[in-house]
Amino acid sequence: MGIAAMVGTPIKRREDPRLITGQATYVDDLKLTGMLYMAVLRSPYGHARILDINVDTALQHPGVRAVFTAQDLKNSVGNIPIAAPLPPHITNGMGRRGALAEGKVRFYGDPVAIVVAENRYIARDALDLIEIDYEPLPAAIDIEKAMQPDAPLLYEEFGTNVAVVMHPETDEIDKVFADTLANGGVVVKDRFMNQRLAPSPMETRGVVADYRRGDKILNLWSSSQIPHLLRNYLAEQLGLAQHQVRVVVPEVGGGFGCKLNIYAEEALAAFSSMKLGQPVKWIEDRDENLAATIHGRDQVNYVEAAATKDGKVTGLKVHVISDLGAHCQFFTDVIAIAFTLPMLSGCYDIPHIYSSCDTVFTNKAPTDAYRGAGRPEACYIIERAMDLVARELKRDPAEIRRLNFLQPEQFPHKVATGALYDSGNYAGALDKAMEIIDYQKLRQEQKRKRANGELMGIGVSSYVEICGIGPKGTAPFGLYESARMRIEQSGTVIVYTGSSPHGQGEETTFAQLVSAEFGIPIEQIQVLHGDTSSTPEGRGTYGSRTTAVGGTAVFQATQRLKEKMKTIAASMLEASATDITFEDGKFAVAGSPQKSVTFEEVAATANTSNELAPGIEPGLETTVFFEPEACTFPFGTHICVVEIDKETGEPHITRYIAVDDCGRQLNPLLVAGQVHGGIVQGVGQALYEEVIYADDGQLLTNTFMDYAMPIASEFPVFELDHTVTPTDVNPLGVKGVGEAGTIGATPAVSAAIADALEVAHLNMPHKAEKIWQIIQQKRQAK
Amino acid sequence: MTTKHTITVTVNGKQYQSEVEPRMLLVHYLRDMLDLTGTHIGCNTSQCGACVVQLNGEAVKSCTVLAVQADGCEVTTIEGLAPEEGSLHPLQEAFWEQHGLQCGFCTPGMIMASYQLLKHNPNPSEAEIRKGLEGNICRCTGYQNIVRAVQDASQRLHTSEKAPVTAND
């Protein structure tokens, strides 16, 4: 394969050999000399007062080295870090908490005490020997009941469970709705539930902490998406300087946003190691993962849309109630406000959008970023609203979408929510998806099947999302990404990136990028990540930002080193640097291609230095921090076809078409992989997955027996295609694709189910039982 | 302390004699005592299949087998699947070629379960592969490329003489 073709080529991943042979090192694969094991005692109640804790028996158990409770952490471990506290209450401490519960437990799984022991079996045994006297309290579980004045309070001193109330004046939107109706238009409304999900990466969380007393250095291995942010915040939480903490992120078995967080257990393992002078390992069990790792989604949305009788949407009014869970984790308080509200315009040119929001604490695990983080909710709201408009006007859903799309020539475009879209061709993606599935023919087939009493539904979803965050001021810390690049004497290029992959394959895509820029074989490039002692300050992998932000930093590093290499090549060739060209790994004098030096020769000269002209600094190394000035907005159209078994209510997806546009693709094989996985997570939400709590706060879904993870037999072969609409936001023209499938899929599936049942809307997950009941109701109504 | 039991287990062709607590899980024995960390633990309740190994030639979820139950048995883990050191089994090649993995955590179990599947059904249909892998959960790939990888491996095993799937049985 030609090197120039490296970018845009579906080459297989260089990560895989270690992963397919069992040689990869995940956190639980680490074994340090003298390592102890930590286990966490968690609340069996959703809400209870802690009256007394007795750890004496546990401490006496053979092999137990320590038992710690909140009392032991005083003055040693600070509160769980949060990125962006919002006024009025959270800035005043509402939802803030220490690493172990103090006084009260506020959700099932809330950590109360830890045991450190010689092995994991003993640590687990000793949990049963800790005696806690609880006084159970009524729990606030249903979010809308939790907002009522008589609801049980999580934080009594604030007199409410509501953290943020954002209710702007409605005069303008009310007028838009009134005018639309006065002109013969329609208003549709509904209440959508976006249910609570468990991110469930196959590798649960895990930490190894090793405090070296002699050096006063904490080495911490964690299954994380954010090595540097973890280092920075954990140092502060433990009262250490940043340089005293080295975070290493080894192989990570999936994240999906839930490892974009700084958790109690990281500080607890570190504290234990500092106290005991030995390494401490904690590996989360799956039941802990489902109970105490962050959950995603959990919004209630009141949605109203106004449209002219011709189908042009004139206004959208949305009230979002966001369930924060029991306390704030890293981004808990801002998911709805920062990611749902700005994306409510979807792909459409809607002149007036009103949004209001309440964020509410409940006795459930904290919610935070889960694949899509606020954008799936926005997409679901606007896409379901478009379907309601289409149904009300008896128009085809695809037609209504096309009528309201922003047009390619309108970009860059600021939508009514204030989001600045970079580029798009929404009709292009819709057309392609409809062509692949032969939409008109499909509708005819549906008509025939309906006439035979069969239940077949077609769902269309055109999504746009926001990626590659973000410009200055988006978060309290800058959302840049770093790349350090070093070229060795041999010409081997070593890339140290601040991005922190957990399955995305950037060791491959970044190497492709460097290979193409330098004209050298991919084998000559090494991509390293996830060690704060060697990678420069970084921000990590989330929000589909790796290629758009981290990849751009890598690209810019290649450009800087190329310039320096030109200077060196010029002196080697006794020419002016401005006359040096670089192509296919060779530096040559313009017009005299025979006068050239290779990439490797320049690397050798730079590193050995004796042959360097005076004034040229030896070595080839640079560090780039790329901070994007704007975000990217990937988009696409997904079409889902379902058939429902009338007798059992079981839905079957018979076809699924995804046309995605993530800008330029560095490796189409990996792009497709991201889309496949995203779709399954989106379908998982639409059809199967749901975290359920009983009214008293008991978690009913704390194993994979009860939390329905999607499995292979539930899916057809997805039919993928793409369009390419580049962006000017970064020099690579890339947008991001990690979350697209999840965002596009859910409304497509929901629409297909509603279409099959010929109802306006039903809430997710669309389990067979619920569907069966609707079928029965309809039969009885006839 | 519980009385320990002496067990003799042959893992990837090598015989081990170990003292284990009767409650020790096979997966912990493989990972913590034999340092064979390629076998993973994903759910603790036998749903996810990250811990699948071959026990006397049949796939088992090693989080649901006690180490003492493996006494006198032969175990094959992902580390022992390739016919020889430094080579890959056709299933491993196919998972690599077809991008059948992302984070890689479910992969060893997925490959070991696919091995079992192909052993009993060398020419599975797409539906049979999907059905056959119901006991293995992957959160990354959406299964599409895993299915392709198993189809690809099936082809490779037919055309390859060097490593028929029954070689290790």
Chain B positions touching A502 (Cβ under 8 A) are: 103
pLDDT digits (tens, 9 = 90+) for A727-744: 999 999 999 999 999 999
Phi, psi of A506, deg, nearest 5: -75, -15
Instruction: Verify whether the Cβ–Cβ distance B131 to A16 is below 8 Å.
Output: no
**Averaged pLDDT, A218-225:** 98
Instruction: Verify whether the Cβ–Cβ distance B38 to A504 is below 8 Å.
Output: no
Please identify which residue in the block is written with the tokens 């024995």.
B29
Which of A22, A200, A705 lies nearest to residue B45, judging by beta carbons? Answer: A705
Instruction: Verify whether the Cβ–Cβ distance A704 to B48 is below 8 Å.
Output: yes
Cα dist from A219 to A10, A261, A346, A430, whole Å? 37, 18, 44, 50
Question: From B21, which residue of chain A is nearest by alpha-carbon distance?
Answer: A121
**Averaged pLDDT, A330-350:** 97
> What is the predicted pLDDT for the residue at A4?
56
Instruction: Verify whether the Cβ–Cβ distance A709 to B139 is below 8 Å.
Output: yes
Mean pLDDT of all residues belonging to chain A: 97
Angstroms from B47 CA to nearest CA on chain A: 6
Q: Number of C-alpha atoms within 13 angstroms, CB side, residue A121?
A: 12
Chain A positions touching B141 (Cβ under 8 A) are: 673, 676-677
Chain A positions touching B35 (Cβ under 8 A) are: 31
Chain A positions touching B24 (Cβ under 8 A) are: 121
Instruction: Verify whether the Cβ–Cβ distance B145 to A19 is below 8 Å.
Output: no
Say how far apart CA B132 and CA B112 lie, in whole Å: 12
Chain A positions touching B147 (Cβ under 8 A) are: 712, 717
Q: Directed axis angle between helix A552-573 and helix A506-518, to 10°?
A: 30
Residue from B20, B111, B140 whose CB has the most chain A CBs within 10 Å, to mutate: B140
Supply the DSSP symbol for A686. Answer: I
Chain A positions touching B104 (Cβ under 8 A) are: 15-16, 18-20, 24, 251, 253, 503
For the four alpha carbons of A458, A464, A468 and A470, in that order, the dihedral sign comes to negative
Is residue A293 very low, low, confident or very high in pLDDT (cuts 50, 70, 90)?
Answer: very high
Please name every residue paired with A659 in a beta bridge, in sequence order, or none if there are none.
A637, A721
CA A372 to chain centroid: 5
> What is the predicted pLDDT for the residue at A476?
87
Q: Residue A485: enclosing H or E segment and its boundaries?
A: strand A481-487
Chain B positions touching A654 (Cβ under 8 A) are: none
Instruction: Verify whether the Cβ–Cβ distance A253 to B104 is below 8 Å.
Output: yes
pLDDT digits (tens, 9 = 90+) for A395-441: 999 999 999 999 999 999 999 999 999 999 999 999 999 999 999 99
What whole-number percentage of chain A has pLDDT above 70? 99
Instruction: Verify whether the Cβ–Cβ distance A121 to B21 is below 8 Å.
Output: yes
Would you say residue A480 has pLDDT above 60?
Answer: yes
Contact (CB, 8 A) for B136 and B112: no
Which of A120, A254, A676 lies nearest to residue B142, judging by beta carbons? Answer: A676
pLDDT digits (tens, 9 = 90+) for A179-217: 999 999 999 999 999 999 999 999 999 999 999 999 999
Q: Coil, strand or helix: which one is A482? A: strand
> What is the predicted pLDDT for the residue at B168?
44
Question: From A16, which residue of chain B is nearest by alpha-carbon distance?
Answer: B96
Would you say residue A243 has pLDDT above 80?
Answer: yes
Q: What letters, b where the CB count within 10 A reaches 16 and e where it falls short, cover A67-77?
A: bbbbebbeebb
Residue from B129, B139, B148 whose CB has the most chain A CBs within 10 Å, to mutate: B139
Which of A120, A203, A679 lies nearest to residue B105, judging by beta carbons? Answer: A203
> What is the predicted pLDDT for the residue at B167?
41
The stretches of A409-545 forming alpha helices (DSSP H) are 426-437, 439-451, 506-518
pLDDT digits (tens, 9 = 90+) for A296-306: 999 999 999 99
Instruction: Verify whether the Cβ–Cβ distance B140 to A718 is below 8 Å.
Output: no
Say how far apart CA A766 and CA A687 lie, in whole Å: 5
Is residue B85 very low, low, confident or very high in pLDDT (cuts 50, 70, 90)?
Answer: confident
Chain B positions touching A741 (Cβ under 8 A) are: 142
pLDDT digits (tens, 9 = 90+) for B97-129: 999 999 999 999 999 999 999 999 999 999 999
Instruction: Verify whether the Cβ–Cβ distance B127 to A681 is below 8 Å.
Output: no
Which of B23, B99, B134 lies nearest to residue A669, judging by beta carbons? Answer: B99
Question: Pick the residue with more confidence: B28 or A476?
Answer: B28
Instruction: Verify whether the Cβ–Cβ distance A704 to B137 is below 8 Å.
Output: yes
Count how many pairs of residues, chain A against chain B, have C-beta atoms within 8 Å. Answer: 180
Would you say residue B90 has pLDDT above 80?
Answer: yes
Please identify which residue in the block is written with the tokens 């490593």.
B163
pLDDT digits (tens, 9 = 90+) for A88-137: 999 999 999 999 999 999 999 999 999 999 999 999 999 999 999 999 99
DSSP secondary structure, A125-189, as one string: HHHTT-EEEEEE-----SHHHHTSTTSPPSSGGGT-SEEEEE----HHHHHHHHHHHHTT-EEEE
**Averaged pLDDT, A254-277:** 98
Would you say residue B162 has pLDDT above 80?
Answer: no
Q: Coil, strand or helix: which one is A236? A: helix
pLDDT digits (tens, 9 = 90+) for A586-602: 999 999 989 999 999 99
Torsion of CA A358, A362, A365, A367, to 10 degrees: 0
Contact (CB, 8 A) for A456 and A446: yes
Instruction: Verify whether the Cβ–Cβ distance B103 to A252 is below 8 Å.
Output: yes
> What is the predicted pLDDT for the residue at B159?
83
> What is the predicted pLDDT for the residue at B1?
53
Q: Coil, strand or helix: which one is A21? A: coil
Which of B45, B82, B129 lies nearest to residue A704, judging by beta carbons? Answer: B45
CA A113 to chain centroid: 30
pLDDT digits (tens, 9 = 90+) for A647-671: 999 999 999 999 999 999 999 999 9
Say how far apart CA A462 and CA A442 lie, in whole Å: 18
Poorest-pLDDT segment among A48-52, A388-392, A536-540, B93-97: A536-540
Q: How many C-beta atoms lie closer than 10 Å to residue B28's C-beta?
A: 22
Instruction: Verify whether the Cβ–Cβ distance B127 to A713 is below 8 Å.
Output: yes
Angstroms from A262 CA to nearest CA on chain B: 21
Instruction: Verify whether the Cβ–Cβ distance B130 to A17 is below 8 Å.
Output: no
Would you say residue A275 has pLDDT above 90?
Answer: yes
Instruction: Verify whether the Cβ–Cβ distance B127 to A28 is below 8 Å.
Output: no
